[in-house]
Protein backbone atom coordinates (compact mmCIF):
# COMPACT_ATOMS: atom_id res chain seq x y z
CA UNK A 1 0.00 0.00 0.00
CA UNK A 2 2.84 2.41 0.87
CA UNK A 3 4.55 1.65 -2.46
CA UNK A 4 1.30 2.24 -4.34
CA UNK A 5 0.73 5.56 -2.55
CA UNK A 6 4.28 6.73 -3.31
CA UNK A 7 3.89 5.64 -6.92
CA UNK A 8 0.66 7.63 -7.23
CA UNK A 9 2.33 10.70 -5.78
CA UNK A 10 5.24 10.30 -8.19
CA UNK A 11 2.87 10.10 -11.15
CA UNK A 12 1.19 13.28 -9.97
CA UNK A 13 4.55 15.01 -9.53
CA UNK A 14 5.70 13.81 -12.97
CA UNK A 15 2.79 15.34 -14.88
CA UNK A 16 2.51 18.40 -12.62
CA UNK A 17 6.18 19.21 -13.19
CA UNK A 18 5.66 19.03 -16.94
CA UNK A 19 2.71 21.38 -16.62
CA UNK A 20 4.91 23.92 -14.83
CA UNK A 21 7.72 23.30 -17.35
CA UNK A 22 10.23 22.95 -14.54
CA UNK A 23 10.94 19.20 -14.43
CA UNK A 24 14.24 17.87 -13.21
CA UNK A 25 15.64 16.42 -16.44
CA UNK A 26 19.12 15.01 -15.91
CA UNK A 27 20.44 11.63 -16.92
CA UNK A 28 16.89 10.40 -17.59
CA UNK A 29 16.21 10.73 -13.86
CA UNK A 30 12.94 12.56 -13.39
CA UNK A 31 13.38 13.00 -9.64
CA UNK A 32 17.05 13.40 -8.69
CA UNK A 33 16.40 12.60 -5.05
CA UNK A 34 18.76 11.88 -2.15
CA UNK A 35 19.27 8.27 -3.24
CA UNK A 36 20.48 9.30 -6.70
CA UNK A 37 22.59 12.10 -5.22
CA UNK A 38 24.30 9.60 -2.93
CA UNK A 39 24.87 7.22 -5.85
CA UNK A 40 26.40 10.03 -7.89
CA UNK A 41 28.76 10.96 -5.06
CA UNK A 42 29.87 7.35 -4.62
CA UNK A 43 30.31 6.95 -8.38
CA UNK A 44 32.61 9.98 -8.54
CA UNK A 45 34.68 8.56 -5.69
CA UNK A 46 34.98 5.23 -7.48
CA UNK A 47 35.95 6.94 -10.74
CA UNK A 48 38.86 8.72 -9.07
CA UNK A 49 39.90 5.49 -7.37
CA UNK A 50 39.71 3.53 -10.66
CA UNK A 51 41.51 6.14 -12.78
CA UNK A 52 45.05 5.06 -13.72
CA UNK A 53 47.56 7.97 -13.70
CA UNK A 54 49.76 6.21 -16.28
CA UNK A 55 47.30 4.63 -18.71
CA UNK A 56 49.95 3.42 -21.16
CA UNK A 57 51.10 0.94 -18.51
CA UNK A 58 47.66 -0.66 -18.86
CA UNK A 59 48.09 -0.75 -22.64
CA UNK A 60 51.41 -2.56 -22.28
CA UNK A 61 49.90 -5.05 -19.82
CA UNK A 62 47.29 -5.97 -22.44
CA UNK A 63 49.89 -6.09 -25.21
CA UNK A 64 52.01 -8.49 -23.17
CA UNK A 65 49.07 -10.88 -22.83
CA UNK A 66 48.38 -10.70 -26.58
CA UNK A 67 52.01 -11.52 -27.27
CA UNK A 68 52.07 -14.47 -24.88
CA UNK A 69 48.77 -15.87 -26.21
CA UNK A 70 50.13 -16.02 -29.74
CA UNK A 71 53.73 -16.87 -28.91
CA UNK A 72 55.09 -20.08 -30.39
CA UNK A 73 58.42 -20.81 -31.97
CA UNK A 74 60.45 -18.46 -34.12
CA UNK A 75 58.39 -19.61 -37.10
CA UNK A 76 55.57 -17.22 -37.95
CA UNK A 77 53.61 -20.05 -39.54
CA UNK A 78 53.79 -22.16 -36.40
CA UNK A 79 52.96 -19.17 -34.21
CA UNK A 80 49.69 -18.67 -36.05
CA UNK A 81 48.45 -22.23 -35.49
CA UNK A 82 46.18 -21.03 -32.70
CA UNK A 83 42.98 -22.43 -34.20
CA UNK A 84 44.10 -26.06 -34.50
CA UNK A 85 43.68 -28.73 -31.90
CA UNK A 86 41.06 -29.03 -29.15
CA UNK A 87 41.10 -25.37 -28.08
CA UNK A 88 40.01 -22.79 -30.63
CA UNK A 89 40.54 -19.65 -28.54
CA UNK A 90 42.64 -17.12 -30.41
CA UNK A 91 43.22 -14.19 -28.06
CA UNK A 92 44.33 -13.90 -24.41
CA UNK A 93 40.89 -13.12 -22.98
CA UNK A 94 39.37 -16.19 -24.60
CA UNK A 95 42.32 -18.42 -23.73
CA UNK A 96 41.65 -17.67 -20.09
CA UNK A 97 38.39 -19.66 -20.09
CA UNK A 98 37.28 -21.10 -23.45
CA UNK A 99 39.65 -24.08 -23.42
CA UNK A 100 37.89 -25.73 -20.49
CA UNK A 101 35.23 -28.38 -21.08
CA UNK A 102 33.80 -27.69 -17.64
CA UNK A 103 33.21 -23.98 -18.24
CA UNK A 104 29.53 -24.39 -17.28
CA UNK A 105 30.55 -25.83 -13.89
CA UNK A 106 33.13 -23.10 -13.39
CA UNK A 107 31.41 -20.09 -14.94
CA UNK A 108 33.01 -17.68 -12.52
CA UNK A 109 36.45 -18.36 -13.98
CA UNK A 110 35.40 -15.72 -16.51
CA UNK A 111 35.63 -13.07 -13.78
CA UNK A 112 39.44 -13.29 -13.81
CA UNK A 113 39.81 -12.92 -17.57
CA UNK A 114 39.25 -9.22 -18.32
CA UNK A 115 42.20 -7.22 -19.64
CA UNK A 116 42.76 -3.54 -20.31
CA UNK A 117 41.19 -0.78 -18.27
CA UNK A 118 38.34 -3.03 -17.16
CA UNK A 119 40.74 -5.71 -15.91
CA UNK A 120 39.66 -5.30 -12.27
CA UNK A 121 36.03 -6.09 -13.06
CA UNK A 122 34.78 -9.29 -11.41
CA UNK A 123 31.01 -8.76 -11.57
CA UNK A 124 29.03 -11.16 -9.40
CA UNK A 125 31.94 -13.52 -8.69
CA UNK A 126 31.39 -13.42 -4.94
CA UNK A 127 27.64 -13.89 -5.09
CA UNK A 128 25.17 -16.69 -5.68
CA UNK A 129 23.80 -17.80 -9.03
CA UNK A 130 20.46 -16.39 -10.10
CA UNK A 131 18.64 -18.32 -12.85
CA UNK A 132 16.37 -16.31 -15.15
CA UNK A 133 13.44 -18.55 -16.12
CA UNK A 134 10.84 -16.03 -17.27
CA UNK A 135 11.41 -13.68 -20.25
CA UNK A 136 8.52 -11.39 -19.36
CA UNK A 137 8.89 -7.77 -18.21
CA UNK A 138 5.38 -6.71 -17.29
CA UNK A 139 5.86 -5.04 -13.90
CA UNK A 140 8.39 -2.20 -13.64
CA UNK A 141 7.57 -1.37 -10.04
CA UNK A 142 7.51 -4.85 -8.52
CA UNK A 143 9.37 -7.14 -10.94
CA UNK A 144 8.36 -10.78 -10.97
CA UNK A 145 10.87 -13.23 -9.41
CA UNK A 146 12.65 -15.23 -12.07
CA UNK A 147 12.81 -12.34 -14.53
CA UNK A 148 15.95 -10.46 -15.58
CA UNK A 149 14.60 -7.21 -14.10
CA UNK A 150 14.09 -8.88 -10.73
CA UNK A 151 17.65 -10.23 -10.85
CA UNK A 152 19.46 -6.97 -11.61
CA UNK A 153 17.83 -4.93 -8.82
CA UNK A 154 18.92 -7.26 -6.01
CA UNK A 155 21.24 -5.68 -3.46
CA UNK A 156 23.74 -8.54 -3.18
CA UNK A 157 26.32 -9.67 -5.78
CA UNK A 158 24.81 -12.12 -8.29
CA UNK A 159 25.96 -14.22 -11.24
CA UNK A 160 22.90 -14.20 -13.50
CA UNK A 161 22.39 -17.08 -15.96
CA UNK A 162 19.48 -18.31 -18.08
CA UNK A 163 17.51 -21.55 -17.81
CA UNK A 164 16.89 -21.71 -21.55
CA UNK A 165 17.04 -19.69 -24.74
CA UNK A 166 14.66 -16.72 -24.74
CA UNK A 167 13.83 -13.33 -26.24
CA UNK A 168 13.44 -10.61 -23.60
CA UNK A 169 11.49 -7.53 -24.68
CA UNK A 170 12.18 -4.91 -22.04
CA UNK A 171 9.18 -2.64 -21.47
CA UNK A 172 11.51 0.18 -20.34
CA UNK A 173 15.23 0.53 -19.70
CA UNK A 174 16.68 -2.15 -17.41
CA UNK A 175 18.40 -0.30 -14.56
CA UNK A 176 21.08 -2.41 -12.91
CA UNK A 177 22.69 -2.44 -9.48
CA UNK A 178 26.41 -3.12 -9.04
CA UNK A 179 28.35 -6.36 -8.52
CA UNK A 180 26.43 -8.25 -11.21
CA UNK A 181 27.32 -10.56 -14.08
CA UNK A 182 24.80 -11.25 -16.83
CA UNK A 183 26.10 -14.44 -18.43
CA UNK A 184 24.29 -15.70 -21.53
CA UNK A 185 26.54 -18.70 -22.21
CA UNK A 186 24.73 -21.97 -22.81
CA UNK A 187 21.54 -20.29 -24.02
CA UNK A 188 20.55 -18.12 -26.98
CA UNK A 189 19.41 -14.95 -25.22
CA UNK A 190 18.18 -11.91 -27.14
CA UNK A 191 17.47 -8.48 -25.67
CA UNK A 192 15.30 -7.19 -28.48
CA UNK A 193 12.26 -5.20 -29.66
CA UNK A 194 12.16 -3.07 -26.51
CA UNK A 195 14.46 -0.96 -24.35
CA UNK A 196 18.11 -1.59 -23.47
CA UNK A 197 20.31 -1.89 -20.39
CA UNK A 198 21.34 1.08 -18.23
CA UNK A 199 24.45 0.94 -16.02
CA UNK A 200 24.22 4.18 -14.05
CA UNK A 201 26.29 5.34 -11.05
CA UNK A 202 27.32 1.79 -10.17
CA UNK A 203 30.51 -0.30 -10.04
CA UNK A 204 31.57 -3.74 -11.20
CA UNK A 205 29.39 -5.17 -14.00
CA UNK A 206 30.04 -7.87 -16.60
CA UNK A 207 27.71 -8.34 -19.60
CA UNK A 208 28.63 -11.41 -21.59
CA UNK A 209 27.17 -13.55 -24.34
CA UNK A 210 23.96 -11.72 -25.25
CA UNK A 211 22.34 -10.67 -28.54
CA UNK A 212 21.14 -7.05 -28.61
CA UNK A 213 19.10 -5.85 -31.57
CA UNK A 214 16.11 -3.72 -32.53
CA UNK A 215 16.33 -1.66 -29.34
CA UNK A 216 13.84 1.20 -29.12
CA UNK A 217 13.74 4.39 -27.08
CA UNK A 218 11.76 4.00 -23.87
CA UNK A 219 8.90 6.21 -22.83
CA UNK A 220 9.97 6.64 -19.23
CA UNK A 221 7.75 6.37 -16.17
CA UNK A 222 8.12 4.93 -12.69
CA UNK A 223 10.79 2.22 -12.65
CA UNK A 224 12.33 0.32 -9.76
CA UNK A 225 16.14 0.61 -9.75
CA UNK A 226 16.89 -1.31 -6.51
CA UNK A 227 15.05 -3.26 -3.82
CA UNK A 228 14.66 -0.12 -1.74
CA UNK A 229 14.13 2.59 -4.35
CA UNK A 230 12.08 3.48 -7.39
CA UNK A 231 11.45 6.76 -9.15
CA UNK A 232 10.51 8.66 -12.26
CA UNK A 233 12.57 8.14 -15.40
CA UNK A 234 12.32 10.28 -18.49
CA UNK A 235 12.49 8.74 -21.96
CA UNK A 236 15.57 6.56 -22.59
CA UNK A 237 17.62 7.07 -25.76
CA UNK A 238 17.48 3.60 -27.22
CA UNK A 239 21.06 2.44 -26.57
CA UNK A 240 21.68 -1.28 -26.34
CA UNK A 241 24.00 -0.62 -23.40
CA UNK A 242 24.28 2.78 -21.72
CA UNK A 243 27.13 3.26 -19.22
CA UNK A 244 26.68 6.47 -17.23
CA UNK A 245 28.96 7.56 -14.38
CA UNK A 246 30.04 3.95 -13.72
CA UNK A 247 33.32 2.13 -13.16
CA UNK A 248 34.82 -1.32 -13.74
CA UNK A 249 32.54 -2.50 -16.53
CA UNK A 250 33.37 -5.29 -19.00
CA UNK A 251 31.27 -5.82 -22.15
CA UNK A 252 32.43 -9.07 -23.78
CA UNK A 253 31.28 -11.46 -26.54
CA UNK A 254 27.99 -9.80 -27.37
CA UNK A 255 26.35 -9.37 -30.79
CA UNK A 256 24.84 -5.91 -31.29
CA UNK A 257 22.89 -4.32 -34.15
CA UNK A 258 20.00 -2.06 -35.15
CA UNK A 259 19.41 0.16 -32.13
CA UNK A 260 17.66 3.52 -31.97
CA UNK A 261 20.71 5.38 -30.63
CA UNK A 262 24.10 3.81 -29.81
CA UNK A 263 25.19 0.21 -29.46
CA UNK A 264 27.45 0.99 -26.48
CA UNK A 265 27.55 4.54 -25.11
CA UNK A 266 29.92 5.44 -22.26
CA UNK A 267 29.48 8.90 -20.72
CA UNK A 268 29.52 11.10 -17.64
CA UNK A 269 32.92 10.26 -16.16
CA UNK A 270 32.70 6.49 -16.57
CA UNK A 271 36.10 4.79 -16.43
CA UNK A 272 37.79 1.41 -16.07
CA UNK A 273 35.94 -0.01 -19.09
CA UNK A 274 36.83 -2.86 -21.44
CA UNK A 275 34.76 -3.59 -24.57
CA UNK A 276 36.03 -6.81 -26.13
CA UNK A 277 35.17 -9.66 -28.49
CA UNK A 278 31.91 -8.10 -29.63
CA UNK A 279 30.45 -8.26 -33.15
CA UNK A 280 28.68 -5.10 -34.27
CA UNK A 281 26.67 -4.72 -37.48
CA UNK A 282 23.89 -2.72 -39.20
CA UNK A 283 24.03 0.50 -37.25
CA UNK A 284 24.79 4.19 -37.69
CA UNK A 285 26.33 5.73 -34.54
CA UNK A 286 28.06 2.72 -33.03
CA UNK A 287 29.86 3.85 -29.85
CA UNK A 288 29.98 7.25 -28.13
CA UNK A 289 32.61 7.83 -25.45
CA UNK A 290 31.85 11.17 -23.82
CA UNK A 291 28.63 13.01 -24.64
CA UNK A 292 29.63 16.67 -24.38
CA UNK A 293 32.58 18.87 -25.26
CA UNK A 294 31.62 20.97 -22.24
CA UNK A 295 31.90 18.15 -19.64
CA UNK A 296 35.52 18.02 -18.50
CA UNK A 297 34.60 15.30 -16.00
CA UNK A 298 35.15 12.85 -18.85
CA UNK A 299 38.89 13.51 -18.51
CA UNK A 300 39.03 10.47 -16.19
CA UNK A 301 37.56 8.23 -18.88
CA UNK A 302 39.84 5.29 -19.74
CA UNK A 303 38.51 2.63 -22.12
CA UNK A 304 39.99 -0.39 -23.88
CA UNK A 305 38.43 -1.52 -27.17
CA UNK A 306 39.93 -4.90 -28.10
CA UNK A 307 39.32 -7.91 -30.39
CA UNK A 308 35.98 -6.60 -31.70
CA UNK A 309 34.70 -7.03 -35.25
CA UNK A 310 33.10 -3.92 -36.72
CA UNK A 311 31.15 -5.49 -39.57
CA UNK A 312 28.56 -4.97 -42.26
CA UNK A 313 26.24 -2.00 -42.30
CA UNK A 314 28.16 0.23 -39.86
CA UNK A 315 28.41 3.94 -40.61
CA UNK A 316 30.49 5.82 -38.00
CA UNK A 317 31.65 6.17 -34.36
CA UNK A 318 33.74 3.05 -33.77
CA UNK A 319 34.25 4.87 -31.39
CA UNK A 320 33.67 8.66 -31.25
CA UNK A 321 35.71 9.99 -28.29
CA UNK A 322 36.01 13.05 -26.07
CA UNK A 323 38.45 14.09 -23.34
CA UNK A 324 39.78 10.74 -22.06
CA UNK A 325 42.32 8.03 -22.95
CA UNK A 326 41.31 5.27 -25.39
CA UNK A 327 43.27 2.16 -26.33
CA UNK A 328 41.94 0.66 -29.56
CA UNK A 329 43.81 -2.61 -30.10
CA UNK A 330 43.58 -5.58 -32.49
CA UNK A 331 40.08 -4.89 -33.80
CA UNK A 332 38.86 -5.74 -37.29
CA UNK A 333 37.25 -2.82 -39.13
CA UNK A 334 35.86 -4.45 -42.25
CA UNK A 335 33.11 -1.91 -42.93
CA UNK A 336 32.31 1.75 -42.44
CA UNK A 337 30.50 4.32 -44.57
CA UNK A 338 31.69 7.68 -43.15
CA UNK A 339 34.70 7.02 -40.88
CA UNK A 340 35.86 4.58 -38.20
CA UNK A 341 37.40 6.52 -35.29
CA UNK A 342 36.50 10.12 -34.47
CA UNK A 343 36.57 12.64 -31.69
CA UNK A 344 36.65 16.15 -30.34
CA UNK A 345 37.95 17.96 -27.26
CA UNK A 346 41.53 16.52 -27.34
CA UNK A 347 41.04 12.82 -26.54
CA UNK A 348 44.12 10.59 -26.52
CA UNK A 349 43.65 7.69 -28.94
CA UNK A 350 46.24 4.92 -29.29
CA UNK A 351 45.40 2.61 -32.20
CA UNK A 352 47.51 -0.55 -32.22
CA UNK A 353 47.41 -3.57 -34.51
CA UNK A 354 43.97 -2.96 -35.99
CA UNK A 355 42.93 -3.82 -39.53
CA UNK A 356 41.12 -1.04 -41.40
CA UNK A 357 39.53 -1.91 -44.75
CA UNK A 358 38.29 1.31 -46.33
CA UNK A 359 35.04 1.44 -48.33
CA UNK A 360 35.17 1.93 -52.10
CA UNK A 361 33.92 5.51 -51.74
CA UNK A 362 36.98 7.70 -52.35
CA UNK A 363 35.59 10.34 -49.96
CA UNK A 364 35.55 7.90 -47.01
CA UNK A 365 39.06 6.40 -47.08
CA UNK A 366 40.23 8.26 -43.97
CA UNK A 367 39.95 6.20 -40.80
CA UNK A 368 39.86 9.26 -38.55
CA UNK A 369 37.61 12.29 -38.16
CA UNK A 370 38.16 15.29 -35.90
CA UNK A 371 35.32 17.65 -35.05
CA UNK A 372 34.98 21.24 -33.83
CA UNK A 373 38.68 22.16 -34.03
CA UNK A 374 40.93 23.59 -36.75
CA UNK A 375 44.13 21.79 -37.69
CA UNK A 376 46.32 24.15 -35.68
CA UNK A 377 44.44 22.91 -32.60
CA UNK A 378 43.98 19.18 -33.32
CA UNK A 379 47.57 18.75 -34.49
CA UNK A 380 48.48 18.68 -30.78
CA UNK A 381 46.01 15.92 -29.90
CA UNK A 382 47.69 12.55 -29.37
CA UNK A 383 46.25 10.19 -31.99
CA UNK A 384 48.75 7.42 -32.82
CA UNK A 385 48.64 4.49 -35.24
CA UNK A 386 51.08 1.69 -34.42
CA UNK A 387 51.19 -1.56 -36.38
CA UNK A 388 47.77 -1.00 -37.99
CA UNK A 389 47.03 -2.74 -41.30
CA UNK A 390 45.52 -0.20 -43.70
CA UNK A 391 43.83 -1.72 -46.76
CA UNK A 392 41.90 -0.57 -49.83
CA UNK A 393 43.32 2.94 -49.54
CA UNK A 394 42.56 3.45 -45.84
CA UNK A 395 44.71 6.08 -44.12
CA UNK A 396 45.03 7.18 -40.49
CA UNK A 397 45.87 10.84 -39.88
CA UNK A 398 48.14 10.91 -36.85
CA UNK A 399 48.74 13.90 -34.60
CA UNK A 400 50.57 14.84 -31.42
CA UNK A 401 54.14 14.26 -30.35
CA UNK A 402 55.04 10.53 -30.64
CA UNK A 403 57.99 10.97 -28.27
CA UNK A 404 55.74 12.26 -25.52
CA UNK A 405 55.11 8.77 -24.18
CA UNK A 406 56.89 7.60 -21.04
CA UNK A 407 60.06 5.52 -21.21
CA UNK A 408 59.52 1.87 -20.35
CA UNK A 409 61.66 -1.19 -19.81
CA UNK A 410 61.98 -3.68 -22.67
CA UNK A 411 59.49 -5.95 -20.91
CA UNK A 412 56.88 -3.19 -20.79
CA UNK A 413 57.39 -2.16 -24.40
CA UNK A 414 56.16 -5.41 -25.96
CA UNK A 415 53.93 -4.19 -28.80
CA UNK A 416 50.46 -5.37 -29.80
CA UNK A 417 50.26 -7.94 -32.57
CA UNK A 418 50.30 -6.36 -36.00
CA UNK A 419 47.11 -5.83 -37.93
CA UNK A 420 47.81 -8.89 -40.07
CA UNK A 421 46.98 -11.05 -37.03
CA UNK A 422 43.56 -9.50 -36.49
CA UNK A 423 41.44 -12.01 -38.41
CA UNK A 424 42.67 -14.71 -36.02
CA UNK A 425 42.33 -12.62 -32.88
CA UNK A 426 38.72 -11.64 -33.70
CA UNK A 427 37.58 -14.86 -35.42
CA UNK A 428 35.10 -15.76 -32.68
CA UNK A 429 33.75 -12.30 -31.88
CA UNK A 430 30.11 -11.94 -30.88
CA UNK A 431 27.89 -14.15 -28.74
CA UNK A 432 29.21 -17.72 -28.76
CA UNK A 433 27.19 -20.89 -29.18
CA UNK A 434 28.48 -22.57 -26.03
CA UNK A 435 27.42 -26.14 -25.24
CA UNK A 436 27.67 -27.82 -21.85
CA UNK A 437 30.55 -30.28 -21.47
CA UNK A 438 32.22 -28.96 -24.62
CA UNK A 439 34.89 -26.36 -25.11
CA UNK A 440 33.19 -23.12 -25.96
Query: What residues act catalytically?
Result: 317
| Angle at the Cα of 267 from the Cα atoms of 326 and 417, rounded to 5 degrees | 20
Beta bridge partners of 344: 322
102 burial (CB, 10 Å; 0-12 / 13-18 / 19+) is: exposed
CA-based nearest residue to 249, from 199, 176, 324: 199
Query: Rounded to whole angstroms, how far apart are CA atoms 267 and 4?
Result: 33
**DSSP-assigned letter for residue 26:** B
| CA-closest candidate to residue 123, choices 176, 170, 163, 169 | 176
DSSP β-ladder status, 314-316 and 332-333: unpaired
Q: Taking Cα atoms as reference points, which of 61, 80, 57 lies closest to residue 70?
A: 80
E strand residue ranges, 163-297:
166-168, 174-175, 180-183, 189-192, 197-200, 203-208, 211-215, 221-226, 229-233, 241-244, 247-252, 255-259, 264-267, 271-276, 279-281, 283-285, 287-289
Alpha-carbon dihedral sign for residues 10, 12, 18, 22 = negative
Identify the three-state secondary structure at position 387: coil
Amino acid sequence: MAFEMKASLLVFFFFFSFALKVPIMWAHIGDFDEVWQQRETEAKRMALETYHPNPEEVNDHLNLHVHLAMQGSNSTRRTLRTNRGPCRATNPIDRCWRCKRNWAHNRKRLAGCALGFGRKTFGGKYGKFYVVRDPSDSDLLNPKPGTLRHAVIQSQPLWIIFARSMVIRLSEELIMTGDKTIDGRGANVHIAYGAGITIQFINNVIIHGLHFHDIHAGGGGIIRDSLTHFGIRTASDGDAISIFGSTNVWIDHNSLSRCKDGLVDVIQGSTGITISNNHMTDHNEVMLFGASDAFSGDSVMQITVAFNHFGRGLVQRMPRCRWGFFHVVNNDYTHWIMYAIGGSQHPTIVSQGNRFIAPHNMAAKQVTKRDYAPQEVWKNWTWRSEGDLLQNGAFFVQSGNPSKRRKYSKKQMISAKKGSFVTRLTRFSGALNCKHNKRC
